[in-house]
Structure 1
Amino acid sequence: MGKKVQTKRIVEIPIDTLKDTLSYGINEKNKFEIINCITEYNGYGFIIKGKMSMRSWGEDIILTLESVNEYTTKVTIKSECRLQTQIFDWNVNQKNIDELFSMMKPCIKKESVYNENN
């Protein structure tokens, strides 16, 4: 399996505002490409492709938004090296996650790390 990193956070922002902010931010960055956006009964899922670079053959990123209540959203981001034999990622997966969370910063009032053993 390729190297992967996953992070979960609870953010104080309505889910639809967060979805729109992320969609705009991802489309503006040349580093990512949205492959699919899935609407679920309590949230959204994004399938994102990270572009190839000198450090990586690209990454497959799954970002899910789950509504906790009217003003709070649980965000899960998993970034995995596309090449399954790539066991060292040069910290690219964590940088992808950090960059996606930084796109949310302008509209987040409060955030906390969500601990779950999954």
Structure 2
Amino acid sequence: MSSHSAWQIGAISDPCLTWGAKRGDRIHSCKTCGIVLLTGEQLGFCCGPEGSKFHDIPPLPPLPPEFDIFLTDPRISHLSRILNLTLSFSSLETTQPFPQIDGPPGFMAIQGCVYHRVRPSHQNSA
């Protein structure tokens, strides 16, 4: 087993990170898949050197049409935080079972410690 780290941290030449900065007459993007790269990301970051890893992972299915409304929104970066918070709530679990307490619709009670599930180790995990 190799003793060097799998991740290397390189210096960022410009603290103002941008997507797809123009470099000469070309947009900073992957030559294999065409994805726009962030400042500091090297060519091959996504697909491997010279695209060598491109076919290792099957392509994702198309996004549902319901996503179109926000994918074309110029505020997608800002709005993605809301989406992330919504989805992260779905991975919350507790160390104790949810108590059965009657309440109005949408009412929820919890007990015990609350945590984000990383691995399904709790008896109530999916």
Identify whether the pair has TM-score above 0.5, normalized to the shorter chain: no
Largest Rg, 1 or 2: 2
TM-score, length-scaled by structure 2: 0.20
Which protein has greater RCO, CA pairs closer than 8 Å, 6+ apart? 1
Report which of the two has the higher share of strand.
1
